[in-house]
Structure 1
Amino acid sequence: MVSYYQAWIKYNIPEMTFSTVSILPVPPSVSSPPVCGSPVVSSRIGGGADAKYGEWPWQVAVVYDGVYRCGGSLISEQWVLSGAQCFNMEADTRRYMIFMGAHQFSGSNDHMKFSFVERIITHYRYESVTSKGDIALVKLSNPVTYTDYIRPICLPSSSVTFPSGTECWVTGWGDVAYGVSLPNPKTLQEVKVHLIDYKECEQMYNTGSSVVYTIEKEMICAGYKEGGKASCQGDSGGPVVCKVNGAWIQAGIVSFAQGCALPNRPGVNTLVPAYQSWIKTYIPEQQFVTVSISGAAGSARAPWKNVLFCILFLSRVLN
């Protein structure tokens, strides 16, 4: 111990100075913030109807005057991504609430939290008739604390393209069939779908239709040509997510469909990458990931320089 020999050192080196310092205990290690698009509960393989609790931790519910209205996705501690159709901009913002970590609306939700809404931003080009610009940002009154059941989804940058056939999932509390509400306990539903390019989707919608449909390039469809699986009424505003290199990325926002999972009538969704600049306008700190998706049916790869994209996502926000 050096201090024990201070007198001896001063005797031999009179000019030597000594300082008195306080030694503080080492603080306990702090765990890393959760990674976007990485649920703690593993996703199942196949296509079950009821989701497991915590399987889709970014899923939120938009509630208006105590009644479920739409889905949405948590993209950061204080922001939610949803559809413009879900909000009445003339209504008092305080009448909206966002529920996070919810699983059953008529059952047990041990890990659920809710927040009031501070601000709602809908896209300036939103048209209710065509569903163009069907995207909205919701700012929570207070930042939420992440848990194993409440985590953000990764957002793709504007350079990311999703080829037709990419395997993705749609989640929500919407109808289970046209005009058939989700029965109690109203458990969060999940369905596996394939993405469909907007041009191909437009051809499908105009097959056997007396009405001419226009599917915008800022949209992407999800479902199957033969029907059977797709989003339904009540799923609007919710996420369409795809697993890329081990992390989940939100490709779309559920917007509309003709009927429910009918042949040649897949769900039509707002294409998230098309709105990166708009989102950054209101959330400059929002992180976006750049990945390369090739082939179909979920064949995806990510360059090594982007492997850590989600790991860095929250560290920049929290620091």
Structure 2
Amino acid sequence: MKFGKRLSILFVAAALLLFSAQGALAAKVIKMHHLNKNGAFDNPSGAAAVVFKNLVESGTNGSVQVQIFPSGQLGKDAEVVQQVKAGIIQLGVHSVGGVGSVYPMISVLDVPFAFPNHAVAYEVLDGPFGQKLGADITAKTGLKCLGFSDSGGFFQFTNSKRPIKTLEDMKGLKIRTMGLETHKKLVASLGGQPVSIAWSEVYTSLQTGVADGQMNPVPIVEFAKLYEVQKYLTISNHLFAPHVWLMNADFYGSLTDAERAVVESAAKTAIVVSRGIANAIEASDRGLPFLSEKMEVYTLPEAEKERFRAASLPVVKEYLEGAFGDEGKAMLASFLDAIKAASK
């Protein structure tokens, strides 16, 4: 073999080795799931996702990349939680319904009318109770909990049958819920008929009459266009159900200390963004003012809200205490104590 040709072969081999080495040092990739459309101003989870991606990629100088899979395109939320556990994807922003499939005690957050306002909800979820809950999620599931973002604010009722102005108006209404027993018991305690339906099927189910109504925050009613298939909106503020950020623990462990710091900081910032967007949308012409033009809107007076609370709260608390035993009672007590302290 001629020297020149041999040199050429050696050069190609060296180039291939260099390419392989570069491949081995390629960026770590976070495949990220969330339930809604991407967009910095479209919805809380979409805004949080794009902010998280930007902060992670810039903060790590590209050593960690984020690929976002929005609109639940990887599957139903409970299915995607299993993908995060298996390491198929690295990060999910999940509904409490999805989290409930692997950590049922997330239902402690479902005490009806527990939070008096957004500020208290955020303080409780960011404070010692939220840290305790996140640590327990990690201990029980092996998933790293990065925090709790805003799914869109307080839950309200919508339906296509009649205005809900009194407790009696709930009677017999088929209300879509997540798969959580607490949500089902809440609806049943108010006289409604709970119908468990995956989020991806909600619009069609409301359109075809499989369900008469549903409960979700105002921004979700707007961006999911539920006003097209629902006539009545009742402002009840009966639940605050955050999105839960869960990361595959092995992937989290594979990050350097510096990368972990960036990821955790980015998640915290994205969570704050989700809250700002949720409140801004609700107050804007894409929120309650907009829905008031499309639907008949009614706000429950405080006296009637108290009737709703009196009918539902004991039922949900009894279920939680029975379902989770002493551990559940302790977590529930911590939750209620945190709300009381934050409300002062």
More strand by share: 1
Q: TM-score w.r.t. structure 1 length?
A: 0.26
Q: TM-score w.r.t. structure 2 length?
A: 0.24
Q: Which structure is higher in RCO with an 8 Å CA cutoff and minimum separation 6? A: 2
Q: Greater CA radius of gyration, 1 or 2?
A: 1
